Chain A
Amino acid sequence: MLSVFYLSGCNLDRIPETTLTNENFWKTENDLKGACTRFYNLLEGFSHDTRADDIIGTTSDQTSAGSRSIPNTSSDWSNPYVRIFTANNIIEKGPGVGIPVSKQNRWMAEAYFFRAYYHFILVTKYGDVPLITRTIKGLNDSLLYSSRVSREIVIQQCYKDLDFAAQWLPTRATAALAANAADWGRVTRSSALALKERIGLYEGTYSKYHNLGSDYKAHLKVAIDAAVLVMKEGHALYPDFQKLFLFEGEGSANLENIFVKVYGPNGAGTVVHGNARQLENGVSLTRNMLDNFLCSDGLPWSKSPLRPAVEISYNTALTNRDPRVGMTFFKVGDLGYKSATFIPFTNQGGNGYSIKKGYLDSEWNTNSKETIDKMLIRYAEVLISYAEALYEYNGTITDAQLDATVNALRARVGFNVKLTNAFVTANGLNMLDEIRRERAIEFVDEGLRYNDIIRWKIAESVLPVNMIGTKFIQSETTKLRTDLKARLTDATGKLNGLAVYNQIDMYVIELAGNRKFDPAKDYLYPVPLNEMSLSGGTVVQNPNWSAQ
């Protein structure tokens, strides 16, 4: 009988031999740094934001067209919290590593930066959100069932986190040292301050135009103060606007870089995107956007005598404009996508204007293994946001301040008409509109537009309108009129009997009647159904989103 029990002494303990655990990790500075590297692995870079009125995809964007419904789950909600856990975990484990405080804080500062970055992204979409400033320990942790916290409280926490980040992150100059070349792309003090400026401006203007009742001026002040600090960090505009978005603009030598998603390594990338192919096939710019660009006399398209009554060519509307038009839009006769001569309606993806900004043939040829870096915050934004914040805060802006901001952007592209108080007065313009306009045209396809129309509360006037494409001229394309005529305006600018655009043969991408924006609900995203039901009722839906 003994033999039956001879096995009783056998051991059941097995330890992980090829996987680290919390117990044997968090021991060195390298561990802490490696934990922070996760942020860059998860960082989102290139995408074409078709939610606003400037860019349009090949099919309508459900947010832009007002047809979105309440999802069950959404990465818009869940992804930021995955990153926020990572940040909180680093913030909690950092002090236990046992390295000097300055080194420890240098890495924890990255965690603070990203905790603010993602909380802010959540606020822009959902408004009030659960504020998570520590790791949730398990399913019994009451924090897991926390309700949505007032956006003001979340934003204040973002400021605090960014203050810590700005205090301990290396400066732009330090990051640019040759010794730190391998760490290029990690956030710096400038990144933290510029983000703070972005948040301050967003929240200040949002609060003002949506009448939130919070002290909007305090937020604008935060933006102004942060901008002033960034301007002391030694940044500058890159001299060539076109090349800014190509390989020439990469790296620390370009002083305009503030917060960058790095792709690469160049030539043999493992972190890659497919931006050029997206530009070719996925998106195009609307006429609505083109009309924002000034004419070369500095006057708006609607007011300038340079605007012809009848457009005889595709290029007519692209001529005698702000030089950025030529750097942003392909014209007939340009070498377009894949080095082929650009032909409207033929070698382009959408039926809007094909995007030239950021397009590089050699990158297209890599077949979606592209490695040009993506600037998430660049110095030009710091400047233009500074101008807007000053104007919103003071109600005025000086010519000197305009020269340092708006006019600096114009000068860079060789657009020599300055925006001055006198010019505005003389031409019956509105200074705020002109500052906003400068922002819109400088940052076409850089992901700012949707948040801008939301915070300015102009979405109901710019989204549910006709989305206009390009001018059709039979002699300039190989597409036949018969194939497109159902979408072209008639001699009176009408389509299907509806006045659309005061020009004949304009291609209409989407009719206003097929689009919607309900200001009572669409300024905020719908909270995913699962998040509400799983919270046990503490997380509630945004106004007017409940279906039944």
Chain B
Amino acid sequence: MIKGIVRSQSDGETLIGVSVIVKESKSGTITDSNGQFTLKANQKATLVFSYVGFVSKEIVVKGNAPLNIQLTEVAKNLDEVIVVGYGVQKKVNLTGAISSIDGKTIANKTSQNVLGALQGELPGLSVTRSSGQPGSQGYGIRIRGFSSVDANGNSNANALVLIDGIEGDMTLLNPNDIESVSVLKDAAAASIYGARAAAGVILVTTKNGKEGKVQLSYQGYFGVNTPGNMPERLPSWEEQDMINQSRVNQSGSPEWNAEMTEWTANPNFNYRINNTNSRWDLFTNTDWIKAGTNKYTTQQSHSVSASGGNKELNYLISGNYFTQKGLLKYGPDKNDRYNFRIKLNSQLNKYMFLEAMGNYEGNFIQQNPYGVTSSNPSGAGNILDRLYRIRTRQPIFNPTEDINADRYNGDLQVNPIDLMINGGIDKNQYEAYIGKASLTIKDLVKGLKVNLSASRVNDYYTQEVDRRYLVWYDRTGTGVRFDANNPNSMTRTKNGSLHDVLQATVDYDLKLNNHAFHFLAGSSYENYRKDQMSGTVKNLNSNDFFSFNYYDVTVVTNTAVSDAIEPWAMSSYFGRINYNYKDRYLLEGNLRYDGSSRLAPGYRWKAYPSFSAGWRVSQESFFDVPVISNLKIRGSWGQLGNGTAFGLYDYLSLIQSGNQMGQSYYYQSALASNQKTWETVQTTDVGFDLGMFNNRLSMTGDYYWKFNKALLATPGAPSILGLTVPQQNLGELKTWGWEFEVKWNDKVGNVNYSVAFNLADNQNKLIKYLNFNTVYAGTVPLVEGYPINSIWGYKTDGYWSSKDEYTQYKTDHPGYQTFSDALISGGDVKYVAQGANDHLIGAGKGTPQSPGDLVYLGTTNGRYLYGLNLSASWHGFDMSVFFQGVGQRSFLVSTETLAPFYSTANMPWTIDRDYWTSTNTNSFWPRLYNYSGNDFNFKSSDKYVQNGAYIRLKNIQVGYNVPLKSGIIDKMRFYVAGTDVWEYSTVLSVYDPEVGNNTGSNSYPFFRTWAMGVNITF
């Protein structure tokens, strides 16, 4: 029996929960609430003490006197090592701007994927999403704002995500596999990746096997999702009343008279035969949203890993299953993800170290195929759109007397419930097999390290879309009221791709007295080839059996097949020099030279340099401020490349083809661009790192500005060209901003707590975009002199109180005229003229210099992104609360969604109740009107621009570590976690404030998640 007590060396306090393991037998215990432990071990055993935040200690037992152990706190940050491009560096010696996060923080969250877990965590890294649809959340990453932009105002440069050096998709990772994530933000950090790095680089490192006892672990949770903000429907009588008013205002007569309108409110009178046509008159009140969506859905994740081995050979094997079900009550709407990973590391001999990795990722998404097109990929969203918009007086089922075999009613609109259940399925299946081997040869010459590696990503994508033909007949069963998926069809798309990377690097360390040098040189070659085939057959023999073998072959247009082969290759050389004088003065230089097959010969190659320097002021002998443990000032400059937007063969005039009733046609649709080349983003960064009070307080700040001087821009060209215009290196974009991060860790009594706050601002301005600039009411992607995606609209001043007021106003201001002049009446939006009130309201010449009555109303680019993390632990309990948000952002809602009755068939929501009447003149919405596509009351204006600022309780978690005396379980933690559980914003209450610009009624709501989980280590 061995007894003892464990204390902290710095303050002498006893430590609770320190793990004490007998090295030989692997048995062990933890210290109790007095810091004391007792365990059985033989008298010469070696004990290993380990505790989070402290340096582990090994003690050889001598005799059975009580042990008095002191553990030393890890000097925070000082020894921390950060993953950088092609290597690691001590954090204190970094000269570039890098943020990093450890895998534990990610794994602790119950987000759908790794990207979701990163939202708000790292300053300068903005994570966006566009939908709540399982597997199709539309996650996007943007590091330090825009580096490049396309004609539609979307980012045209994607952050390079390297997972163990292999390009990959973070949303497909097993969150529990991650050791750390580094985000390389400035040129100094990223330019070693040259032409791929303009939008920043994210390096994900996965866990390795550990020598020692076999360690088994399980992490799992079960979560319940409830939908966040979504529209609410009106009862049918209210809806019908609003329809009537909108018709009266437009044409003078209501759709239904008062008597019929009243019938909708009568629960005992739901339909009657319409004698004048072969339909029913329907007076139901159907709650379509309730009928078609789940109140809550589930998601769960189960992850298992095993690791062990010895110095010669160690391994890690892990697997994960994640599943999430969607909002739609019936039919396909879910996502399943599978991960499997195996890693083997072996020290072959004194000089050679071999790493081998195999990885499988499988992602399976099922959804409804209704209305799916390449530009509108969310069939689930289209179903929701119908549920939100179908008339509530339409019942789900036909009246019992109806003679049709199909019981679903499709009289006024296609029936979304029927569509969900019987509309077919869209199955997406993505599977990737990834392998990598890497050999490191070290110290054949002292300080020299050679690494050779090869990797392959082999992936397979399959999509099968089966569309079942649905038809809704009228009462007599002869006339078709509506149909969907006509004719029935099946489309199958399969592709496979190979992405090979061969890479060689040489590292050399040289130390001459106080001068330390590190050299890196390397080259890589990437080869990619994707091969896709797609086929469609229509008019299948049966609605229930989908195969290419059974369809109506007599019609040539029932078949369509196509293929696409997409190869590209890239070749690169790169090098780096680090210089370090006494850990005080740090210098670094990088150079990368890249060539790509996508460009015309002669425009393929480009070099990207960067330089950076750091001064660790706190290391100077003259620096004597006791509270400051670390102070570093750093600066960097460099160039990065971007080629994300390149097509495969933009420099050639390509001939497209199609089929016109069995005859092929061929055409050229785009101008060739043989002078296109890489975009070059020039980035400058200055920053500081500060540690105080033994690094309990740490701060990091950066200010940066970057210029994309050869911005690929689609020049506006007069339409008389007759072709679409390819992008050219004509524009110039400036992006600038700052980031600030502060962390405080301390403890009060037995409570350890930490506060971390980060705040980042980012702005941009299109410096040059040719001479062609137009503005119009709406979101204008690119206007010279303005931020990307600037919103332009009119100023409004309430409503006209009557037609007379408008007429009088026109008399008082000769020349003044608003939109749809002839229709103006009380309750129509009053648009304010800019300058003199003597003209037709409009966009003037449509240029930023002469925008008529348009004014700039902000940008959709978010500013002041922040994250605030509060966490505390006490004995075995831990708790964390994480807020995240955006301080400033504007966006628009699509006109057809904003305007009730913009389309006659689209019904209003509860938010539309607040419309103008002569007694409700301070309403949010204008008078009811049957707009039929005329947007005169819904022009982009200060009235409708949404303030997208928000604060969200992104994550809240309470956990408990069960104290385990001994036995097979080493550690067990239970927790309850909430994700996206609360937010505050002033956005129209039917949307989450995070939705994209021009969002519409087919947007799939985000989920709020509550989960219970357990982590067990054996």
Closest chain-A Cβ to B674's Cβ sits at a distance in Å of 10
Closest chain-B Cβ to A374's Cβ sits at a distance in Å of 14
Would you call A482 and B569 a contact (CB within 8 A)? no
- Contact string against A for B residues 719-743, beta-carbon threshold 8 Å, 1 for contact and 0 otherwise: 1111101001000000000000000
> Quick one: which of B665, B718, B772, B823 contacts A35, CB cutoff 8 A?
B665
**With A21-B652, A41-B658 given, is the CB distance from A81 to B774 under 8 Å?**
no
Would you call A268 and B843 a contact (CB within 8 A)? no
Q: Is the interface of A mostly helix, strand, loop or mixed?
A: loop
> Which chain A residues numbered 342 to 357 have a C-beta less than 8 Å away from chain B?
343, 346-347, 351
Would you call A265 and B719 a contact (CB within 8 A)? no
Q: Max chain B CB contacts within 10 Å: which of A135, A138, A343?
A: A138
- Contact string against A for B residues 567-588, beta-carbon threshold 8 Å, 1 for contact and 0 otherwise: 1111101000000000000000
Q: Does A146 contact B (CB under 8 A)?
A: yes
Residues of A contacting B663 in the complex (Cβ-Cβ under 8 angstroms): 34, 37, 182
**With A144-B717, A265-B555 given, is the CB distance from A367 to B722 under 8 Å?**
no
Would you call B665 and A38 a contact (CB within 8 A)? yes
Would you call A10 and B569 a contact (CB within 8 A)? yes
Residues of A contacting B241 in the complex (Cβ-Cβ under 8 angstroms): none
Would you call B523 and A531 a contact (CB within 8 A)? no
Would you call A4 and B522 a contact (CB within 8 A)? yes
How far, in whole Å, are A3 and B527 apart by their CA atoms in the complex?
A: 18
Residues of A contacting B486 in the complex (Cβ-Cβ under 8 angstroms): 367, 369
- Contact string against A for B residues 904-934, beta-carbon threshold 8 Å, 1 for contact and 0 otherwise: 1000000000000000000000000010111
Q: Does B666 contact A (CB under 8 A)?
A: yes
Taking CB as reference atom, which chain B residue is nearest A477? B276
Would you call A16 and B648 a contact (CB within 8 A)? yes
> Quick one: which of A4, A132, A483 contacts B504, CB cutoff 8 A?
A4
Would you call A17 and B567 a contact (CB within 8 A)? yes
- Contact string against B for A residues 351-389, beta-carbon threshold 8 Å, 1 for contact and 0 otherwise: 100000000000001010100000000000000000000
Residues of A contacting B371 in the complex (Cβ-Cβ under 8 angstroms): none
Q: Does B844 contact A (CB under 8 A)?
A: yes
Would you call B523 and A5 a contact (CB within 8 A)? yes
Closest chain-B Cβ to A468's Cβ sits at a distance in Å of 14
> Quick one: which of A8, A16, A69, A347 contacts B277, CB cutoff 8 A?
A347
> Quick one: which of A82, A367, A536 contacts B483, CB cutoff 8 A?
A367
Q: Does A86 contact B (CB under 8 A)?
A: yes
> Quick one: which of B253, B649, B846 contacts A16, CB cutoff 8 A?
B649
Would you call B821 and A144 a contact (CB within 8 A)? no
Residues of A contacting B376 in the complex (Cβ-Cβ under 8 angstroms): none
> Quick one: which of A8, A65, A72, A478 contacts B774, CB cutoff 8 A?
A72
Would you call B720 and A3 a contact (CB within 8 A)? no
Q: Does B660 contact A (CB under 8 A)?
A: yes
Would you call B666 and A347 a contact (CB within 8 A)? no
Would you call B276 and A14 a contact (CB within 8 A)? no
Q: Does A228 contact B (CB under 8 A)?
A: no
How far, in whole Å, are A78 and B723 apart by their CA atoms in the complex?
A: 10
Closest chain-A Cβ to B822's Cβ sits at a distance in Å of 4
Q: Pick the interface stretch among B58-66, B558-566, B684-692, B748-756.
A: B558-566
Residues of B contacting A513 in the complex (Cβ-Cβ under 8 angstroms): 822
**With A136-B721, A487-B251 given, is the CB distance from A22 to B653 under 8 Å?**
yes
Closest chain-B Cβ to A337's Cβ sits at a distance in Å of 9
Would you call A547 and B844 a contact (CB within 8 A)? yes
Taking CB as reference atom, which chain A residue is nearest B278? A340
Q: Does B852 contact A (CB under 8 A)?
A: yes
Q: Does B842 contact A (CB under 8 A)?
A: yes
Residues of B contacting A262 in the complex (Cβ-Cβ under 8 angstroms): 661
Would you call B251 and A67 a contact (CB within 8 A)? no
Taking CB as reference atom, which chain B residue is nearest A79? B719
> Quick one: which of B450, B527, B654 contacts A21, CB cutoff 8 A?
B654
Q: Does A23 contact B (CB under 8 A)?
A: yes
Residues of A contacting B728 in the complex (Cβ-Cβ under 8 angstroms): 139
> Quick one: which of B521, B652, B722 contacts A86, CB cutoff 8 A?
B722
How far, in whole Å, are A89 and B265 apart by their CA atoms in the complex?
A: 64
> Quick one: which of A67, A83, A339, A529 contacts B845, CB cutoff 8 A?
A529
- Contact string against B for A residues 175-192, beta-carbon threshold 8 Å, 1 for contact and 0 otherwise: 000000010000000000
Would you call A38 and B564 a contact (CB within 8 A)? no
Q: Does B953 contact A (CB under 8 A)?
A: no
**With A7-B504, A182-B663, A533-B774 given, is the CB distance from A17 to B722 under 8 Å?**
no
Would you call A547 and B721 a contact (CB within 8 A)? no
Would you call B671 and A138 a contact (CB within 8 A)? yes
Would you call B571 and A10 a contact (CB within 8 A)? yes
**With A20-B666, A22-B668 given, is the CB distance from A533 to B846 under 8 Å?**
yes
Q: Does B595 contact A (CB under 8 A)?
A: yes
Q: Does B682 contact A (CB under 8 A)?
A: no
Q: Does B218 contact A (CB under 8 A)?
A: no
Would you call A22 and B652 a contact (CB within 8 A)? yes
Residues of A contacting B658 in the complex (Cβ-Cβ under 8 angstroms): 38, 41
Taking CB as reference atom, which chain B residue is nearest A40? B660
Closest chain-B Cβ to A456's Cβ sits at a distance in Å of 25
How far, in whole Å, are A78 and B524 apart by their CA atoms in the complex?
A: 46
**With A38-B665, A486-B253 given, is the CB distance from A548 to B852 under 8 Å?**
yes
**With A7-B571, A35-B665, A343-B276 given, is the CB distance from A69 to B819 under 8 Å?**
yes
How far, in whole Å, are A224 and B502 apart by their CA atoms in the complex?
A: 75
Residues of A contacting B715 in the complex (Cβ-Cβ under 8 angstroms): 139
Would you call B667 and A86 a contact (CB within 8 A)? yes
Would you call A478 and B276 a contact (CB within 8 A)? yes
Would you call A139 and B725 a contact (CB within 8 A)? yes
Would you call A3 and B253 a contact (CB within 8 A)? no
**With A37-B664, A144-B717 given, is the CB distance from A346 to B845 under 8 Å?**
no
Residues of B contacting A19 in the complex (Cβ-Cβ under 8 angstroms): 649, 654-656
> Quick one: which of B521, B567, B659, B840 contacts A547, CB cutoff 8 A?
B840
- Contact string against A for B residues 494-514, beta-carbon threshold 8 Å, 1 for contact and 0 otherwise: 000000001011100000000
Taking CB as reference atom, which chain B residue is nearest A21? B652
Closest chain-A Cβ to B149's Cβ sits at a distance in Å of 19
- Contact string against A for B residues 835-865, beta-carbon threshold 8 Å, 1 for contact and 0 otherwise: 0000110111111001010000000000000
Would you call B654 and A535 a contact (CB within 8 A)? no
Would you call B597 and A14 a contact (CB within 8 A)? yes
Closest chain-A Cβ to B907's Cβ sits at a distance in Å of 18
Q: Does B257 contact A (CB under 8 A)?
A: yes
Would you call A18 and B563 a contact (CB within 8 A)? yes
How far, in whole Å, are A13 and B652 apart by their CA atoms in the complex?
A: 13
> Quick one: which of B504, B506, B565, B844 contacts A548, CB cutoff 8 A?
B844
Residues of B contacting A436 in the complex (Cβ-Cβ under 8 angstroms): none
> Quick one: which of B252, B254, B478, B525 contacts A7, CB cutoff 8 A?
B525
> Quick one: which of B253, B479, B557, B573 contacts A268, CB cutoff 8 A?
B557
Q: Does B27 contact A (CB under 8 A)?
A: no
> Which chain A residues numbered 15 to 63 have a C-beta less than 8 Å away from chain B?
15-23, 25, 31, 34-35, 37-38, 40-41, 58-59, 62
Q: Does B776 contact A (CB under 8 A)?
A: yes
Residues of B contacting A339 in the complex (Cβ-Cβ under 8 angstroms): 478-479
How far, in whole Å, are A516 and B656 apart by their CA atoms in the complex?
A: 45
Q: Does A418 contact B (CB under 8 A)?
A: no
Taking CB as reference atom, which chain B residue is nearest A132? B720
Q: Does B400 contact A (CB under 8 A)?
A: no
How far, in whole Å, are A500 and B934 apart by their CA atoms in the complex?
A: 26
Would you call A67 and B822 a contact (CB within 8 A)? yes
Q: Does A514 contact B (CB under 8 A)?
A: yes
Would you call B822 and A533 a contact (CB within 8 A)? no
Top 8 nearest A-B pairs (CB, nearest first) are A85-B722, A529-B846, A78-B719, A37-B665, A486-B252, A514-B822, A20-B655, A270-B557
A-B contacts, 24 of them at CB < 8 A, read: A1-B521, A12-B571, A12-B595, A14-B569, A14-B648, A17-B565, A31-B666, A37-B666, A82-B719, A82-B723, A86-B667, A88-B722, A130-B720, A132-B720, A139-B725, A145-B718, A270-B557, A338-B278, A346-B276, A514-B822, A529-B774, A534-B716, A548-B839, A548-B840
Beyond A19-B649, A486-B248: 18 further Cβ-contacts under 8 Å? A3-B506, A6-B523, A12-B570, A14-B567, A16-B648, A21-B653, A31-B666, A67-B823, A86-B667, A89-B668, A132-B722, A365-B479, A530-B716, A534-B717, A536-B771, A539-B718, A547-B843, A547-B852
